[in-house]
Structure 1
Amino acid sequence: MEISTQFFTYGEDADSRLTLHDGQEFGPVTLAYETYGELNAARDNAVLVFHALSGSQHVCGFNPEVPGAGTRWNEECQTGWWDDFVGPGKAIDTDRFFVVCANYLGGCYGSTGPSSINPETGKEYGGDFPQISFGDIVDSQIPLYKELGIESFHAVIGSSLGGMLALNFATRYAERVNRVIPVACGLESTTLTRVHNLEQILSIENDPNFCNGHYYDGPAPLRGLALARMISHKTFVSLHAMEARMKDKCEQEKDEFSWYKIRTPLESYILHQGRKFLRRFDANTYLYLVAAWTNFNLAREFGTTDYNKVFRECGHQNYLVFSIDSDCCFYPEEQDFLRDKLVAAGITTDYLSVSSDKGHDSFLLEPHLYAEPIKAMLEQ
C-alpha cells in the first residue's frame, strides 16, 4: 500500500497564528500528516496517533518520498514505523477507523521546524526557531483536526515521547477524546531522563559545527548528533538485545578517534547506531524535541502538583496503560505512577505489563504483545 504525505498550512496572517507557551505568536505553520481509512458519516471513528522522538507522520504502508524532507527521507523511513499495528484487519483496523498522524512542530519530515525556511529572512530558521513545549506541539495540531472535520477522537494513542503528547492532549482537550492508550511513557520527565537529555543536548551544542543552530550553509554537527543518538540508544534497547544484535567482528572507524582503537563488537555496534542516524535526522530538530521532553511535567502545565486536578475533566475516558518490564528509557515505575494517579482520580484504567527482553523498543518490534489489547480497547 503506497501512501502520500499531505500538508496543511495555517497562520499566514496575524489572526490565525499559533500562540506558544511563552505568549509568542508564531506562523505560518505547515504540518505534514498522513491519514488511513475513511472518516465515517458520524465522524466518530477517528484515531489519533502521536509518534516517538525520531519517528514521523508515516505510520503504515510505503511512502517513497516526502517533499521538504530531502535526503533525510531514506529507506529507513519509507516503511511505516507501526506498519505491523495499523492497516486493514490489524490491531488499529483501517477498515473501521480513520487514523491520523502528523509530524511535529519542530520536526524535520515536512512540518515547520528549524530546517524550514523563515519567510522573513529567506533562510532556514536554525537557532532562531522558537523554543517549543509539548503543549505547543499538541496545540499546533488542533487546526488540522478542524480542517479534517474531526471534533473528537474515538481514541488517542502514543508511545514513548508520543505517549506523553497523548496524555497532554487527553487532559488539556479532555472533551475531544474517549479512549487513551499511552505506551511506555510517563506523566513527567524524571531525574534520570533530565540527566540523559542534558548529555545529549551538550553533545550537539558542543560540536564545533553547531554554530548556535545556524549550520545549514556549512557542515552539520554530525559528531554531536551521533553521540547524542548513542547516549539515547542505550536507553532504547536492553543490554540483552544489544548483545543479540552485535556482529561478531569489530569495524574500525578511523576518522572517529585519534588514538583509541575499537576493540569489541559492542563498541562497533553502538558507534554504528549513532552514525547511521545521521542520514535521516536533523540535529536542531533533535535538540528542540529533547529540550521539550526535558521540560515536560503535565501537572505543571495545569499550574498544580495535584493530579486529581489534571484529570478532573477525564471521568468519561477509558485508559489502557502499557508498561515494558525491561524498559530503561521509561522505567515501569513511571507507568505505575501514571496508573496510580488515574485510579486515584476515578478514571477507568487497564494496566498491562509487557514481558520482553527487547527493552523500550519492544513497542516497535513485538506487535503480538500489544495488538490484541489495543484491538479490544478500540472495539469495546
Structure 2
Amino acid sequence: MSQDSETQTRFFEFDDPADPLPLCVGPPMPRFTLAYEMYGRMNADRSNVVLLYHAMTGCQHAAGRNPHVPGLDGRWTEEMHEGWWDPFIGPGKALDTDKFCVVCANFLGGCYGSTGPASINPATGLPWGSTFPVLRMRDIVESQMRLLDHLGVRKLHAVVGPSIGGFLALVTAAAHPERVHFVVAIGTGIETTIDQRLLNFEQVTAIEADPYFRGGDYYAGARPDVGLALARRIAHKTFISPDALRMRARNEVVSQKPPHGWYEMNHPVESYMLHQGQKFVKRFDANTYLRILDAWQWFDLVKETGAKDLRDVFRRCRGQEFLVFSIDNDHTFDRKQQEKLVRPLKVAEVPFLWLTVHSDKGHDAFLLEPRLFTPHIQEMLDHRGAG
C-alpha cells in the first residue's frame, strides 16, 4: 500500500460468557476486544487471507497511513501513523493485496486498542493494571482464532510472523494445522535462548525498579517512564548491528547535561539510545511490555501446542509449507535459532525452504529491506499446492 492510503482500525468485540477464551494461566476471559486492520479483499470463500503477527512492540497498523486510533491516552504518536510493514503490503508487494487479504491484530494484552492492562476493567471501572491476566503466546493466538471465526475465515492461505511474531506463527501452525496452508517465519526461533532470557530479565527489573511503577497500578499518576525507557535501550541494541548503530548515531547531538545524575554523555551513540528510550515511552505502556516479556520468558512450543515433543509439533504440519528466513547480522535471533527450527521440520518431513538474507541492518532488516524478502515470499504465496 502507499503511505498516502489511509486505513482505519476496526474492533472485534468478543463477548461470550458461555464459551469464554481459555487462558493458559488463570480463569478464562468471557470478554475482550481486539484492534485489527485489513488490507485487500477477501474472496468469495475467504481462502485468500494472510494472518500477520506483529513483533513485540508493534501494532495492528501494518500498512498505509492511520492518523488516529481512539482511546489510547496519547500513545498513537506520529511515529505510529505509518504502517510498520508498509513496504511489504500492497499491490505487487510481498503480501500482494491484489491477490490476498491481510489481517493484522494488536495482541491481546496490547496497548493499541486491544484489551490490555491500560484498558478499563468493566468490573471495577478502573484500568486493569496489575490485575490484568497473565498471558502466554498460546493465549494471544487463540484470541486471534476467535477473530478469524468472527470474520468467517476457516483456513488461512498463510500465517506470517517476524521476530516473536514467528513464535505465534509456529503456535498457530501446530495448534491449528487444519487452518494453515503456508507459514512464513522471519528472524525467529523455537525457544527462548539464554541470551534473550537475560536481556528480558534486565528489562523486567528496569521497569519494576522505577519508583513510579507501583506494582503496575500507576495510571492515576506519573508513569514509570525512566524504567520503561531503560528497558527499551536494553533491547534496542540487539535490534541493529553495531555498524548500523554507529551509522545511525553519527549525526546525533550529544547533550552536555547529564539526564539523571552526574554522568555526562560524551558520544553520539549515547544520545541516540537516550532518544530511543524517550521516544518509546510516549507510545507504549509499561504493563503491556511486561506482559509480552513474560509470555516470551515462558514460551514453550511443545507445551503450548499440547504436543509430546518437537517431532510431534511439526508432524502435525506435514500438510503445510514453511519459508524460514535468517538474517546474517541478527543479534536478537541468530542463525542458530532458525537452524533449530529447520532441523525438526526436516525430521518431520515438512516441506520447507530456508534462506539467509545478508544485511548490515541486523534484526531490523525485516522492517527495512523488503527487496531481500519479497521475491521469496511472493513465490511461496503464489504457489497454491499446499493442503
RMSD between superposed Cα atoms in Å: 1.3
The counterpart of 1:267, out of the listed 267, 270, 277, is: 270
Moved more, 15-24 or 250-259: 250-259
Amino acid at match of 2:7: I
Does residue 77 (structure 1) correspond to residue 80 (structure 2)? The answer is yes
Cα distance between partner residues in 2 of 1:169 and 1:240: 35
Distance in 2 separating the partners of 1:352 and 1:8: 36
Counterpart for residue 287 of structure 1: 290
CA separation of 1:303/1:156 partners in 2, compared to 1, >3 Å: closer, same or farther?
Answer: closer
Task: Return the letter of the residue paired with 1:169.
Answer: T
Query: What is aligned with 2:221?
Result: 218
> Aligned-pair distance for 1:302?
4.1
Structure 1 residue aligned with 2:158: 155
| 3-state SS in 2 of match to 1:35 | strand
Segments of structure 1 that go 5 or more residues without pairing to the other structure are none
Correspondence for 1:343: 346
Q: Aligned with 2:311: secondary structure?
A: helix
Q: CA deviation at 1:266?
A: 1.2
Amino acid corresponding to residue 241 of structure 1 in structure 2:
A
Q: 2:281: which partner in 1?
A: 278
From 9, 13, 35, the equivalent of 1:9 is 13
User: Is 1:60 the counterpart of 2:63 in the alignment?
Assistant: yes
Contact 2:17 2:31 in 1 (8 A): no
* Residue 39 (structure 1) aligned to one of 37, 42, 48: 42
Aligned to 1:324: 327
Normalising by structure 2, we get a TM-score of 0.96
Return the alpha-carbon distance in structure 1 between the equivalents of residues 140 and 7 of structure 2.
24
> Of residues 16, 19, 29 in structure 2, which corresponds to 1:26?
29
Q: What's the counterpart of residue 312 of structure 1?
A: 315
Q: Which runs of 5+ in 2 are unaligned?
A: none
Structure 2 CA distance for partners of 1:293 and 1:249, relative to 1, 3 Å: closer
Report the 3-state secondary structure (helix = DSSP H, G, I; strand = E; otherwise coil) of the residue aligned with 1:94.
coil
CA offset digits 1:153-193 (Å, max 9, x no partner): 00000100111111111110111001000000011111111
| Contact 2:95–2:378 under 8 Å retained in 1 | yes
Decide whether the 8 Å contact of 1:164 with 1:187 is kept in 2.
yes
CA contact (8 A) 1:154 1:178 kept: yes
Following superposition, the deviation at residue 14 of structure 1 comes to 2.1
What are the Cα deviations for residues 285-320 of structure 1, in whole angstroms up to 9, with x where unaligned?
111101101111202324556211111221110000
Q: Is the 8 A contact 2:137 2:299 kept in 1?
A: yes
Deviations 1:306-362 (A, max 9, x none): 211111221110000000010000111000110111111100010010111100000
Measured in 1, the distance between the counterparts of 2:117 and 2:49 equals: 30
Identity %: 50
SS of the aligned residue for 2:322 comes to: strand
Q: Are 2:141 and 1:138 aligned?
A: yes
User: For residue 336 of structure 2, what is the aligned residue in structure 1?
Assistant: 333
Counterpart amino acid of residue 343 in structure 1: K
Q: Does 1:203 align with 2:206?
A: yes
Q: Secondary structure at the match of 2:74?
A: helix
Deviation at 1:253, TM superposition (A): 7.1
Is 1:91 the counterpart of 2:119? The answer is: no
Give the Å deviation of 1:40: 0.5
TM-score by structure 1 length?
A: 0.97
SS in 2 for 1:16: coil
SS at match of 2:237: helix
Q: CA deviation at 1:74?
A: 1.1
- Residues of 2 paired with 1:90 and 1:329: CA distance? 26
1:64-83 CA-partner distances (Å, limit 9, x unpaired):
11122231111111110010
Contact 1:175 1:313 in 2 (8 A): no
